[in-house]
Structure 1
Amino acid sequence: MPRFSACLLALFILLCSPLLSTWSHADQGFASWVENFYQQEARPVGISRQTFDSVFSRVTAPEPVVLKKAKYQPEFTTEIWDYLDMRLTPLAVSRGQKMARKYSHTLQKIETQFGVSRFVVLAIWSMESNYGAVLSNKSRLHYVPTALATLAYQDKRRARFARKQLIAVLQMVQAGEVQPQQLVGSWAGAMGHTQFIPSSYRAYAVSLDKRGGSDIWNSVPDALASAANLLHKNGWQTGRTWGYEVMSPGNGELYRDKSMALGEWSQKGFRRSAHRQFPHLEERAFLKLPGGGNNPGFLVIKNFSVLKRYNNSDYYALAVGLLADRIAGFRGMQQKWILPLGALSLEERYESQRLLRSHGYYAGTIDGNLGRGSRDAIRRFQQVRGLKDTGIANKDILTLLRKARK
Structure 2
Amino acid sequence: MPVDAERDQRFARWIADFSSSARAAGITDATLQSAFDGIRFIPRVTELDGAQAEFTRTVWDYLDSAVSTQRVVRGQDRLLQARPAVDPAATRYGVPAEILAAIWGMESNYGSNTGDIPTIDALATLGFEGRREAWARSQLLAALKILQNRDISRAQMVGSWAGAMGQTQFLPSNFLAYAVDADGDGRRDIWGSLPDVMASTANFLVRSGWQSGQPWGQEVRLPPGFDLALADGEQRRPAAVWAGLGVQTMDGSPLPALADAALLLPAGARGPAFIVGPNFRTILRYNNSTSYALAVGLLAQALGGGAPVQAAWPRDLQPLSRSQLLALQTALNARSFDSGTPDGMMGPATRSAARRYQRSVGLPADGYPTLELLQSVQ
Please list the CA deviations of residues 304-339 of structure 1 after superposition, one character each: whole Å capped at 9, or x if unmatched.
111122112222111101100000000111111101
Please list the CA deviations of residues 145-172 of structure 1 after superposition, one character each: whole Å capped at 9, or x if unmatched.
111111112251x322211110101111
Aligned residue identity for 2:45: V
Structure 2 CA distance for partners of 1:73 and 1:287, relative to 1, 3 Å: farther
Equivalent residue number for residue 35 of structure 2: 55
1:90 aligns with 2:41: no
Equivalent residue number for residue 100 of structure 2: 121
Equivalent residue number for residue 30 of structure 1: 11
8 Å Cα contact 1:67/1:155 also seen in 2: no
Question: Could you tell me how far apart the structure 1 residues matched to 2:110 and 2:51 are?
Answer: 22
Aligned residue identity for 2:12: A
Equivalent residue number for residue 116 of structure 2: 141
Please list the CA deviations of residues 224-262 of structure 1 after superposition, one character each: whole Å capped at 9, or x if unmatched.
121111112222111111011122234453111211111
8 Å Cα contact 1:296/1:335 also seen in 2: yes
Equivalent residue number for residue 267 of structure 1: 244
Structure 2 CA distance for partners of 1:31 and 1:104, relative to 1, 3 Å: same
8 Å Cα contact 2:217/2:256 also seen in 1: no
Aligned residue identity for 1:199: S
Aligned residue identity for 1:100: L
Structure 2 CA distance for partners of 1:163 and 1:82, relative to 1, 3 Å: same
Summarize the alignment of residues 356-375 of structure 1 with structure 2, pairs less than 5 Å apart.
Answer: none
Secondary structure at the aligned position of 2:263 is classed as strand
Question: Could you tell me how far apart the structure 2 residues matched to 1:114 and 1:222 are?
Answer: 13
Question: Could you tell me how far apart the structure 1 residues matched to 2:103 and 2:144 are?
Answer: 27
1:236 aligns with 2:210: yes
Choose from 33, 58, 64 the match for 1:79. 58
Equivalent residue number for residue 15 of structure 1: none
8 Å Cα contact 1:248/1:296 also seen in 2: no
Equivalent residue number for residue 400 of structure 1: none
8 Å Cα contact 2:85/2:194 also seen in 1: no
Aligned residue identity for 1:124: I
Aligned residue identity for 1:244: Q
Summarize the alignment of residues 7-406 of structure 1 with structure 2, pairs less than 5 Å apart.
Answer: 27-39=8-20, 41-61=21-41, 63-71=42-50, 77-135=56-114, 140-156=115-131, 158-249=132-223, 250-255=225-230, 256=232, 257-280=234-257, 283-340=259-316
Equivalent residue number for residue 370 of structure 2: none
Secondary structure at the aligned position of 1:275 is classed as coil
Secondary structure at the aligned position of 1:69 is classed as helix
Larger-gyration structure (1/2): 1
Structure 2 CA distance for partners of 1:341 and 1:242, relative to 1, 3 Å: closer
| Stretches of structure 2 lacking an aligned partner (at least 5 in a row) | 320-378
Question: Could you tell me how far apart the structure 1 residues matched to 2:124 and 2:56 are?
Answer: 25
Please list the CA deviations of residues 95-124 of structure 1 after superposition, one character each: whole Å capped at 9, or x if unmatched.
111122212232221122111100000000
Question: Could you tell me how far apart the structure 1 residues matched to 2:56 and 2:249 are?
Answer: 29
Question: Could you tell me how far apart the structure 2 residues matched to 1:342 and 1:78 are?
Answer: 10
8 Å Cα contact 1:153/1:159 also seen in 2: yes
8 Å Cα contact 1:96/1:327 also seen in 2: yes
Structure 2 CA distance for partners of 1:77 and 1:52, relative to 1, 3 Å: farther
Secondary structure at the aligned position of 1:133 is classed as coil
Structure 2 CA distance for partners of 1:38 and 1:48, relative to 1, 3 Å: same
| Stretches of structure 1 lacking an aligned partner (at least 5 in a row) | 1-22, 344-406
Question: Could you tell me how far apart the structure 2 residues matched to 1:25 and 1:72 are?
Answer: 24
TM-score after normalising by structure 2: 0.77
Structure with greater helix percent: 1
Equivalent residue number for residue 379 of structure 1: none
Equivalent residue number for residue 357 of structure 1: none
TM-score after normalising by structure 1: 0.72
Aligned residue identity for 2:212: T
Q: Percent identity?
A: 40
Question: Could you tell me how far apart the structure 2 residues matched to 1:163 and 1:340 are?
Answer: 44
Equivalences, count: 312
Aligned residue identity for 2:118: Y
Structure 2 CA distance for partners of 1:182 and 1:327, relative to 1, 3 Å: same
8 Å Cα contact 2:164/2:171 also seen in 1: yes
